[in-house]
Amino acid sequence: MKFYIRTFGCQMNVNDSEKMAGILKTLGYELAQDWTEADVILVNTCSVREKPDQKVLSALGEFKKIKKQNPNAIIGVCGCLAQRAGYEILQKAPFIDMVFGTTNIHHLPKLLQEAKEGNKAVEILEEIDSSEFELDQYPTVRENKYTAFVTVIRGCDKKCTYCIVPTTRGKERSRRIGDILREIQFLVEDGVKEIHLIGQNVTAYGKDLGDVKFYELLYAVADIKGVERIRFTTGHPRDLDEETIKAMADIPQVCEALHLPIQAGSDKILQAMDRGYTQKEYLHKIELLKKYIPDIALSTDIIVGFPGETYEDYLETIKVLKEVEYDQVFAFKYSPRPGTPAADMPMAETPETLSKWLNDLINMQKDITFKKNLAYENKVVEVLVEEQKEDGQYVGRTRTNKLVHFYGRDNLLGEIVDVKIEKVNRFSLEGVLN
Ligand code: 5AD
Ligand code: SF4
């Protein structure tokens, strides 16, 4: 028996899929090369913007074919779109056998059994109960042997007016620190070198537990022998305090990279989004980061065209991008999400104008990203070697999360090596083993 999982969306979804693969392996299933040979197909969905919604729906059309080929195949839909609109999906695509929400993943064995018996297996909880932590007991099946995601907190208590996540992922629930450290110990014994702590709002870790803070978690993870690198995503600017920034600078394993979404540069728009900071307050955090960690690589998320955003507001975003000089920017056009407070707010501009703004912003940022990469020319950087191509070329990442291609000697997979950068591209660096 074989399974296939298609994952949309963020790192939390990737980690959930790795856990589902772990559950299915425990049940005796093997990973299929592609969906045409699978007995169980799971689609782990995202609902953050309208586009991912549509992508999921068209993927489902594709999977319908599998039922013709193999009528016994079981198709399940889970993740954020399932949580938000599970019953709607079932109506639109009645050939689906299982639908489950973001907090029901640990019930996959039970749901699969129900589906096998010919029933529609549906479980979408409105109320979250602590049994969801059972999911963390399962092993993960990971594509990357040397770097691993570890979920430390689920959900989000912020109320950004554009965002569907509090609806699809619920309130903040931190995992207990002992459980997290045990999982990391296990990963390290399995050969993992880089631990990537994840959560919708990782910097809020511990607030609901009351006795532990995020920076203390960083120190505790760093104390585990064999943890060579630590990353974390996503931090919220409001919860990123000076203690955390100091810990980042102080702990040798914490990488010099941070994704800190600003969303918009204009104070008026930040307030309408209910982000809880002004441009000045955000820039103060950036200043602190650069002060404590001078060679930090920063990245951010931008929403272009939030309701009410005028050209002057948009120019404030451009101003911030020019000032901060991010290594990478993920920018999207605002997309109204059903049920969010902003969904009914009127737009100030036409979709065409917003597309132009978005394009201009992306083009401007391309040059900044390239300029940041150029600073690596002829430098020696530390690379964790994650992959080797057929022609022997290695692929890895710097501590600042830059992709590096290089040639070296045999048996470097999983090693941390020095690479001299000889060529700089827009999205990657090329070099030779130093
Ligand atoms: N429209 C556009 N982008 C959005 N994001 C979240 N909600 C929306 C929305 N309604 C973006 C934010 C967030 C990233 C994951 O997706 O920038 O940081
Ligand atoms: Fe998409 Fe947000 Fe859900 Fe991640 S948490 S899968 S980004 S909707």
Provide CB contacts within 8 A for 394, sequence distance 6+. Answer: 385, 387, 388, 405, 406, 407, 408, 412, 413
pLDDT of residue 322: 98
Atom of ligand 1 nearest to the CA of 337: 10
Tokens describing residue 255: 């990488």
pLDDT of residue 2 exceeding 90, the answer is yes
Closest CA to ligand 1's atom 7: 163
72 alpha carbon – ligand 2 mean position (Å) = 30
CATH architecture observed for domain 380-433: Beta Barrel (2.40)
pLDDT of residue 51: 85
Closest CA to ligand 1's atom 13: 301
212 alpha carbon – ligand 2 mean position (Å) = 26
pLDDT band (50, 70, 90) for residue 173 = very high
Least confident of 86-90, 142-146, 149-153, 280-284: 86-90
- Helix and strand numbers (H, E) in the chain are 12, 19
**Contact yes or no for 416/193 (Cβ under 8 A):** yes
pLDDT of residue 126 exceeding 80, the answer is no
What is the pLDDT averaged over residues 44-55?
A: 89
Q: Which residues line ligand 2 (CB under 6 A)?
A: 9-10, 12-13, 46-48, 79-80, 164-165, 168-169, 200
CB of 49 sitting under 6 A from ligand 1: yes
pLDDT of residue 248 exceeding 90, the answer is yes
Q: Would you list the domain boundaries of the chain?
A: 2-123, 130-374, 380-433
Consult the annotation and say whether 255 binds a ligand: no
pLDDT of residue 246 exceeding 90, the answer is yes
pLDDT of residue 127 exceeding 90, the answer is no
Percent share of the chain, pLDDT over 70? 100
Mean pLDDT of the chain: 95
Q: Does 380-433 match 130-374 at the fold level?
A: no
Atom of ligand 1 nearest to the CA of 335: 1
pLDDT of residue 125: 84
More confident residue, 99 or 347: 99
CB of 303 sitting under 6 A from ligand 1: yes
pLDDT digits (tens, 9 = 90+) for 375-427: 999 999 999 999 999 999 999 999 999 999 999 999 999 999 999 999 999 88
Least confident of 87-96, 98-107, 241-250, 364-373: 87-96
CB of 292 sitting under 6 A from ligand 1: no
pLDDT of residue 61: 81
Q: Return left, alpha or beta for 257; rule: phi > 0 is left, psi -120 to 50 is alpha, else beta.
A: beta
Omega before 234 within 30 of 0, i.e. cis: yes
CB of 48 sitting under 6 A from ligand 1: yes
pLDDT of residue 27 exceeding 90, the answer is yes
Q: Which residue among 46, 77, 84 is best mutated to probe the pocket of ligand 2, counting the most ligand atoms within 8 A of its Cβ?
A: 46
CB of 301 sitting under 6 A from ligand 1: yes
pLDDT of residue 63 exceeding 80, the answer is no
Does 3.40.50.12160 match the CATH number of domain 2-123?
A: yes
pLDDT digits (tens, 9 = 90+) for 312-355: 999 999 999 999 999 999 999 999 999 999 999 998 899 999 99
Consult the annotation and say whether 78 binds a ligand: no
User: Which ligand places an atom closest to the C-alpha of 81?
Assistant: 2
301 alpha carbon – ligand 1 mean position (Å) = 8
CA-based diameter of the chain, in Å?
62
**Contact yes or no for 396/381 (Cβ under 8 A):** no
- Name the nearest CA neighbour of 6 among 63, 51, 48: 63
Closest CA to ligand 1's atom 18: 301
**Contact yes or no for 3/29 (Cβ under 8 A):** yes
pLDDT of residue 291 exceeding 80, the answer is yes
Pair type for strands 394-398 and 380-388: antiparallel
pLDDT band (50, 70, 90) for residue 30 = very high
pLDDT band (50, 70, 90) for residue 74 = very high
Sign of the alpha-carbon torsion through 412, 414, 416, 418:
positive
Classify residue 128 by burial, with Cβ atoms within 10 Å: 0-12, 13-18, 19+: middle
Q: Which residue among 14, 44, 48 is best mutated to probe the pocket of ligand 2, counting the most ligand atoms within 8 A of its Cβ?
A: 48
CB of 200 sitting under 6 A from ligand 1: no
Q: How many CA atoms lie within 13 A of 217 on its CB side?
A: 34
What fold is seen in the domain 130-374? pyruvate-formate lyase- activating enzyme (3.80.30)
pLDDT band (50, 70, 90) for residue 52 = confident
